[in-house]
């Protein structure tokens, strides 16, 4: 599950995920961004309302720039169908595990941001949903983000 939910997304994560699932709008996507937080604290991240504010954010947070890294974009066909769990009175949101191939040494990864991207637009239009601790020191090998079996987010 997410280490934190951005304030702008509290109460909205499931709905924005569902919008990607149903293709409303057709350009909507989830975007996964690897970052080095620098000295940016969780409390500071929590207050950012757009990905543009996260990168660079207070404390020098920045998107990683290692060779072999690129943002991951998930469209309707890439995500698990939105389905409330009526038995347990909750909604678990899941995405597939992610792999970056042959990521070069360089910037250390500290976190992953999962963001809602309504228009395939600029970072100023991306809504950060969740932030996940992801401590990795790239060394030229593949990097895999194994998503929790229960998903990346739970609303209950």
Do the domain assignments include residue 154?
no
For residue 22, what is the enclosing H or E element?
A: helix 13-22
Do the domain assignments include residue 156?
no
Do the domain assignments include residue 13?
yes
Query: pLDDT tens digits, residue range 24-79?
Result: 999 999 999 999 999 999 999 999 999 999 998 777 899 999 999 999 999 999 99
Do the domain assignments include residue 153?
no
Name residue, tokens 């347990």: 88
Do the domain assignments include residue 85?
yes
Q: Which domain holds residue 32?
A: 4-148
pTM for the whole thing?
0.94
Give the Cα separation of 108 and 55 in Å (integer). Answer: 15
């Amino acid at each position: 599950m997410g280490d934190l939910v951005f304030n702008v997304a509290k109460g909205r994560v499931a709905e924005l995920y569902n919008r990607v699932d149903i293709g409303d709008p057709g350009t909507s996507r989830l975007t996964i961004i690897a970052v080095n937080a620098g000295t940016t604290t969780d409390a500071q991240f929590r207050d950012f309302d757009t990905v543009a504010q996260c990168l660079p954010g207070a404390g020098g947070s920045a998107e990683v720039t290692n060779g072999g890294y690129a943002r991951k974009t998930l469209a309707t066909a890439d995500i698990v169908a939105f389905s409330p769990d009526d038995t347990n009175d909750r909604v678990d949101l899941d995405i597939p595990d992610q792999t970056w191939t042959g990521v070069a040494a360089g910037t250390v990864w500290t976190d992953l941001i999962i963001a809602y991207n309504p228009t395939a637009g600029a970072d100023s239009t991306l809504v950060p949903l969740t932030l996940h601790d992801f401590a990795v020191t790239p060394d030229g090998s593949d990097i895999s983000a194994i998503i929790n079996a229960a998903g990346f987010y739970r609303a209950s």
